[in-house]
């Protein structure tokens, strides 16, 4: 019997279809289930790592959770305190930055406070760590502009001028 005759024969399909249908559960049992078990194990390990990290953050800064009133926390925001805390955690000396904050501005729609922070001599890694830590810690703080000026003679020394706006 030639292959074309075999394909045209209906008995061939009566045999082929049950074989294919029987192959499906076999492939699920042999291929897919072990992969699912591996991925579940990997996700459990990732969760344990994330849980350890969350508890580490909680131990470093328990005030994040103890804040009971969001409006109270927003009214307590102060640029000097915020920048000082983050600069200290990023190991930026206090003499290398300056802050000029403007008074709170109230409009019909919002209440904001602007400030400029100048970091005199800072490397890119410390600058990026400072900016990301500051904006992570205060979600309502928005960086409106960044100006980086390379200091002459040194490969990784910059003057950074940041303009912020805090929304109450």
The tens digit of pLDDT for each residue in 104-125 reads 899 888 999 999 999 999 999 9
Q: Do residues 87 and 119 share a domain?
A: yes
Which CATH number goes with the domain that contains 108? 3.30.70.60
Question: What integer pLDDT is reported at residue 56 of this predicted model?
Answer: 86
- pTM of the predicted protein model: 0.56
CB 116 within 8 A of CB 123: no
Q: Do residues 77 and 54 share a domain?
A: no
Q: Do residues 125 and 75 share a domain?
A: yes
Question: What integer pLDDT is reported at residue 153 of this predicted model?
Answer: 84
Q: Do residues 41 and 99 share a domain?
A: no
Q: Do residues 38 and 88 share a domain?
A: no
What domain range includes position 114? 69-167
Q: Do residues 160 and 78 share a domain?
A: yes
Q: Give the residue among 26, 164, 167 at the shortest CA–CA distance from 97.
A: 164
For 70, the token pair is 């969001």
Flag whether 130 is in a domain.
yes
Give the residue from 14, 35, 58 where a domain finishes: 58
Question: What integer pLDDT is reported at residue 68 of this predicted model?
Answer: 47
**d(C-alpha 150, C-alpha 23), whole Å:** 66
CA 84 to chain centre: 23
How many distinct structural domains can be found in the chain? 2
Q: Do residues 80 and 129 share a domain?
A: yes
Q: Do residues 139 and 86 share a domain?
A: yes
CB 130 within 8 A of CB 90: yes
**d(C-alpha 127, C-alpha 121), whole Å:** 10
CB atoms within 10 A of CB 97: 19
Q: Do residues 49 and 84 share a domain?
A: no
**d(C-alpha 82, C-alpha 77), whole Å:** 7
Flag whether 63 is in a domain.
no
Residues 6 or more apart whose CB falls under 8 angstroms from that of 137 comprise: 82, 85, 86
Question: What integer pLDDT is reported at residue 132 of this predicted model?
Answer: 93
Q: Do residues 48 and 113 share a domain?
A: no
For 44, the token pair is 């459990």
Q: Which residues of the chain register pLDDT less than 50?
A: 68-74
**d(C-alpha 56, C-alpha 62), whole Å:** 10
Q: Do residues 45 and 100 share a domain?
A: no
Flag whether 64 is in a domain.
no
Q: Do residues 91 and 9 share a domain?
A: no
DSSP conformation letters of 35-63: HHHHHHHHHHHHHHHHHHHHHHHHHH-TH
């Amino acid at each position: 019997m030639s292959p074309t005759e075999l394909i045209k024969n209906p008995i061939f399909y009566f045999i082929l279809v049950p074989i294919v249908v029987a192959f499906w559960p076999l492939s699920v049992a042999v291929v897919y289930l072990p992969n699912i078990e591996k991925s579940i194990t990997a996700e459990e390990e990732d969760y344990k790592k994330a849980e350890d990290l969350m508890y580490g953050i909680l131990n470093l800064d328990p005030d994040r959770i103890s804040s009971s009133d969001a409006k109270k926390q927003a009214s307590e925001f102060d640029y000097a305190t915020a920048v000082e805390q983050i600069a200290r955690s990023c190991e930026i000396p206090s003499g290398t930055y300056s802050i000029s904050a403007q008074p709170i501005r109230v409009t019909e729609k919002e209440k904001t406070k602007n400030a400029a922070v100048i970091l005199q001599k800072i490397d890119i890694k410390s600058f990026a760590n400072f900016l990301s830590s500051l904006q992570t810690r205060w979600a309502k703080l928005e960086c409106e502009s960044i100006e980086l000026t390379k200091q002459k003679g040194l490969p990784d020394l910059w003057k950074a001028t940041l303009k912020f706006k805090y929304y109450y």
